[in-house]
């Protein structure tokens, strides 16, 4: 039996010290949970936190479009009561779906019926700043900034801390002897570029098996001001969703300062450019000119920033193997998704809720492996959505691309769901609840939904971009 089955995460934390590697959203929320069980929680962050909300080098994706899904909103309010009120007060736009979004997918325009879910489209730096203020105010939580974690201490049976190296200029800092920081629990929240598999191997432990699906999708983003006031003032957005037959995507959403952020995406070999003029021209590849027309009239406020690392990667720490007690992974360090689906921040919050629930369960001992399984399970729905969609793309590669026998009937059923959710409000409500991580996929198989999917017709959808909400008059948005 693996050593990890014999330890007690809550017991090891209780009255002791926990270290969280990474001070992004996943790390901060994990630290807040652990503060209820440990005397001290140290968050080690390679950057210096900005005094005000703003991008930092450790989160290059923060310059791109981010959305907070309904499932993430609920999780954040559970972890930090009243947080969503704070986010609203800070001006983060609340965009209702499908009412506030002009949306295209698979050759169909979406009806803009009453909103059944809402996205928050403020910047990631704003949301992280608000979370950081709340979390670091806790007296048990301490942040160590401008410091790299370069390894783990302990052995293959138990992690006993981390090895730290201060960041600085020149070769002296790079060759400085790491200093140890003892801990009873180490949580890796260092993100997509985690080095934890290598650290574990250095202790003689087994690195996790990694499942990967990579479409080669790339995207580029730029901030604009809309002189016409079509987007932002009316809390509207544009969304062109790619699929295997039409591989280009676009998102235009408002931000908290009244600007709009535009993200264009394409697959391997035809990536969106980071040149200013070519960025606008790239939008001509979309199946309708409405985004390109808007871009030509909008005022650019930033450079174009590109992002290429979009593979889905799931690290299976839950599988059998020689892995030490006292080590957990969360957030992107555990399961990272193609960012085009906008799941990352919401899953980070749901991971922290899963950690809280395991530690608070009086009926079962929260061993390292049991806790890790629960955290991974909380990312399962997002993985099924992101990886399930990406494996159908023509450029998909990776060891998890192959379809299983069970995938075929499920894929057939879900294709019928997708044919209907653009125009059927009942199917649309159910499907959006799953896509926003607020309901399980079994929702789509409820009797009333199954009848519409299996027996009902595909209802008509708009023939042109619907620039008005149904029954609500003009929205002020026109191509």
What distance in Å separates the CA atoms of residue 188 and residue 149, rounded to the nearest whole number?
A: 10
What distance in Å separates the CA atoms of residue 245 and residue 239, rounded to the nearest whole number?
A: 17
Instruction: Report whether pLDDT(42) > 70.
Output: yes
Residues contacting 262, CB < 8 A, separation 6+: 65, 221, 222, 223, 224, 250, 251, 252, 291, 295, 298
Higher pLDDT, 477 or 446: 446
What distance in Å separates the CA atoms of residue 314 and residue 257, rounded to the nearest whole number?
A: 35
Answering whether pTM is above 0.85, one says yes
pLDDT, tens digit, 9 for 90 and up, residues 67-121? 999 999 999 999 999 999 999 999 999 999 999 999 999 999 999 999 999 999 9
pLDDT, tens digit, 9 for 90 and up, residues 339-374? 999 999 999 999 999 999 999 999 998 999 999 999
Identify whether the C-beta of residue 410 lies closer than 8 Å to the C-beta of residue 434: no
What distance in Å separates the CA atoms of residue 293 and residue 3, rounded to the nearest whole number?
A: 60
Q: How far is CA 120 from CA 111, 133, 273, 479, in A?
A: 21, 19, 27, 24
pLDDT band at 184 (very low <50, low <70, confident <90, very high): very high
């Amino acid at each position: 039996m693996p050593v990890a089955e014999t330890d007690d995460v809550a017991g090891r934390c209780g009255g002791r010290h926990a270290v969280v590697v990474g001070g992004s959203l996943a790390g901060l929320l994990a630290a807040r949970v652990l503060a209820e069980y440990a005397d001290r929680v140290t968050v080690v962050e390679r950057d210096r936190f900005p005094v005000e909300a703003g991008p930092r080098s450790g989160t290059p994706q923060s310059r791109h479009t981010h959305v907070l899904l309904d499932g993430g909103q609920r999780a954040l309010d559970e972890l930090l009561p009243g947080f969503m009120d704070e986010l609203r007060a800070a001006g983060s736009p609340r965009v209702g779906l499908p009412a506030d979004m002009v949306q295209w997918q698979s050759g169909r325009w979406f009806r803009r019926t009453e909103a059944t879910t809402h996205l928050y489209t403020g910047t990631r730096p704003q949301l992280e700043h608000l979370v950081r203020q709340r979390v670091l105010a806790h007296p048990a939580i301490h942040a160590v900034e401008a410091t790299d974690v370069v390894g783990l201490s302990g052995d293959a049976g138990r992690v006993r801390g981390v090895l730290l190296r201060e960041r600085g200029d020149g070769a002296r800092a790079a060759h400085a002897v790491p200093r140890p920081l003892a801990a009873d629990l180490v949580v890796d929240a260092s993100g997509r570029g985690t080095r934890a598999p290598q650290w574990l191997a250095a202790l003689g432990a087994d690195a996790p098996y990694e499942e990967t699906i990579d479409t080669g999708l790339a995207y580029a983003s730029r901030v604009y001001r809309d002189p016409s006031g079509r987007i932002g003032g009316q809390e509207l957005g544009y969304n062109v969703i790619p699929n295997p037959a039409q591989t280009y995507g676009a998102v235009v959403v408002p931000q908290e300062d009244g600007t709009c952020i535009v993200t264009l995406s394409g697959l391997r070999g035809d990536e969106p450019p980071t040149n200013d003029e070519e960025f606008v021209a790239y939008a001509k590849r979309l199946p309708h000119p409405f985004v390109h027309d808007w871009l030509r009239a909008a005022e650019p406020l930033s450079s174009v920033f590109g992002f290429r690392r979009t593979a889905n990667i799931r690290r299976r720490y839950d599988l059998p193997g020689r892995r030490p007690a006292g080590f957990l992974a969360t957030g992107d360090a555990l399961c990272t998704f193609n960012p085009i689906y906008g799941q990352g921040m919401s899953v980070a919050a749901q991971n922290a809720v899963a950690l809280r629930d395991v530690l608070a369960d009086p009926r079962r001992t929260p061993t390292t492996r049991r806790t890790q399984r629960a955290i991974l399970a909380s990312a399962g729905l997002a993985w099924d959505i992101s990886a399930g969609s990406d494996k159908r793309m023509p450029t998909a590669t990776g060891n998890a691309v192959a379809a299983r026998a069970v995938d075929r009937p499920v894929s057939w059923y879900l294709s019928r769901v997708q044919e209907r959710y653009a125009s059927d409000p009942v199917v649309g409500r159910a499907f959006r609840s799953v896509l926003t991580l607020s309901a399980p996929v079994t929702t789509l198989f409820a009797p009333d939904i199954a009848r519409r999917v299996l027996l009902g017709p595909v209802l008509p959808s708009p023939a042109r971009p619907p620039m008005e909400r149904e029954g609500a008059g003009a929205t002020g948005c026109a191509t």
